[in-house]
Amino acid sequence: MRVTAIAGGTGAAKLLRGLAACLPPRDLTVVGNTGDDAEVWGLHVSPDLDTVTYALAGRLDPARGWGLADETFRCLEGMAELGSETWFNLGDRDLATHVHRTRALRAGATLSQVTAELARRRGVAARLLPMSDAPVRTRIRTPDGWLTFQEYFVREKALVEVLEVEYAGAAAARPAPGVAEALREADLVVVCPSNPVTSVGPVLAVPGVVEALGAARGPVVAVSPIVGGAAVSGPAAELMRARGLPVSPLGVARAYAPWLRRLVLDRRDAGAATELGRLGVTAVPADILMTDGAREVALARVVLSQATHGVSPPSRPPLQ
Ligand code: FO1
């Protein structure tokens, strides 16, 4: 069964590990967010592509949810001695990824090419595609002006008020090679439990992606990153509010309308089923907190089972 997953960072990594445990790796394609990409110390860092690669390679640091396990930060200490900014912690082995990527890009490789090479060299058999080879960068407007995503999320620790979110460069971008086809032709499309605004939003902002999702041959299933009225992790609630979306599974469904068909949500949110039905979205209650490997696989099985269920036609709104 060919599965295409849209993935951001930490929230997606767990489900992707679960999916990779249930599928022949070559049947899994991941479309990764690049809106978080940043230039750090002159190097091109692609946090979400690296988080997915490290997770599927079994080398993601479990405590941080980003970067490599068993990491050291000697270069970071050296950079601090030299007065460089060090609020964005680059580990020593992680640096090799950014040096390699930056050199390849300078030599004329596309982000797709170097992403595929980095995944292959780390033993990842799944296919990892950036959402676009063109630069698209999430920017956050705060009362003190515009911030890059990493300035907002890491330097300011997401503690500043969000007035607006934009995806700079999106209008001029187009899907990376293979992305539109992977979304259209998959037997199942999975939107991982990532931040709907800053992890999935940039992917949807690339012209052609939403059209491909609307034309998807298989069902499109999302896993809610919101449980109850709160985000499972990170600033999704604040960012959804900034976008005028209710911080609830319904807000997630609205962020993914009209192409979303099924939303896997926490059992505590099963009451949203009727309202979701009005959006043409079938609620699939499940245990969505992936607190260990077994839970990652169990949730992946729930998601994969959505492909075999007859895909119910969008439920019609009740006759007025
Ligand atoms: N997140 C932090 O909270 N602090 C960091 O110092 C940090 C460094 C970092 C380095 C490489 C990388 O791939 C990710 C890193 N992240 C860090 C996480 C990153 O901000 C997030 O993974 C995504 O941008 C959001 O999903």
pLDDT of residue 215: 97
Q: Which domain holds residue 175?
A: 3-35+132-140+168-305
Looking from the CA of residue 87, the nearest atom of ligand 1 is 6
Residue 243 within a domain:
yes
In which region does residue 83 sit, left (phi positive, over 0), alpha (psi from -120 to 50) or beta (all else)? left
298 token code pair: 């169990």
Residue 207 within a domain:
yes
Residue 236 within a domain:
yes
Q: Is 50 in the pocket of ligand 1 (CB under 6 A)?
A: yes
Distance between CA atoms of 192 and 223, rounded to whole angstroms?
A: 6
Residue 127 within a domain:
no
Residue-wise pLDDT tens for the chain (320 aa)?
999 999 998 889 999 999 999 999 999 999 999 999 999 999 999 999 999 999 999 999 999 999 999 999 999 999 999 999 999 999 999 999 999 999 999 999 999 999 999 999 999 999 999 999 999 999 999 999 999 999 999 999 999 999 999 999 999 999 999 999 999 999 999 999 999 999 999 999 999 999 999 999 999 999 999 998 888 888 999 999 999 999 999 999 999 999 999 999 999 999 999 999 999 999 999 999 999 999 999 999 999 999 976 544 444 444 44
Domain containing 241 — which CATH number?
3.40.50.10680
Location of structure tokens 């599965």: 3
Q: Is 37 in the pocket of ligand 1 (CB under 6 A)?
A: no
Residues 6+ apart with CB under 8 A from 46: 32, 34, 36, 37, 101, 111, 115, 130
User: Phi/psi at 43 (nearest 5 deg)?
Assistant: -110, 145
CA proximity to 203, closest of 2, 27, 9: 9
Nearest CA to ligand 1 atom 18: 66
Mutate to test the pocket of ligand 1, among 10, 50, 88, 90 (most ligand atoms within 8 A of CB): 88
Looking from the CA of residue 33, the nearest atom of ligand 1 is 26
Looking from the CA of residue 89, the nearest atom of ligand 1 is 6
Nearest CA to ligand 1 atom 26: 9
Number of domains in the chain: 1
Distance between CA atoms of 12 and 16, rounded to whole angstroms?
A: 6
Q: Are 251 and 269 in contact (CB under 8 A)?
A: no
Q: What angle do CA 122, 183, 32 make, to 5 degrees?
A: 40
Residue 261 within a domain:
yes
Helix ranges restricted to H, the chain? 10-22, 47-56, 74-81, 92-106, 111-121, 149-150, 179-185, 201-205, 209-214, 236-242, 249-255, 273-278, 293-308
What is the whole-number distance in angstroms between the Cα of residue 139 and the centre of ligand 1? 16
Residue 45 within a domain:
no
Beta bridge partners, 39, equal 44
Mutate to test the pocket of ligand 1, among 98, 122, 154, 159 (most ligand atoms within 8 A of CB): 154
pLDDT of residue 231: 85
235 upstream amide cis, omega within 30 of 0: no
Q: What angle do CA 3, 28, 262 make, to 5 degrees?
A: 30
Q: Is 51 in the pocket of ligand 1 (CB under 6 A)?
A: yes
What is the whole-number distance in angstroms between the Cα of residue 154 and the centre of ligand 1? 7
pLDDT of residue 310: 52
Residue 226 within a domain:
yes
96 token code pair: 């090799």
pLDDT of residue 315: 47
Residue 106 within a domain:
no
pLDDT of residue 305: 97
Model pTM score: 0.95
Q: Is 195 in the pocket of ligand 1 (CB under 6 A)?
A: no
71 token code pair: 């990491």
pLDDT of residue 288: 95
DSSP 196-257: TTTTSHHHHHSTTHHHHHHT-SS-EEEE-SEETTEESSSSHHHHHHHTT--SSHHHHHHHTT
pLDDT of residue 233: 82
Looking from the CA of residue 153, the nearest atom of ligand 1 is 20
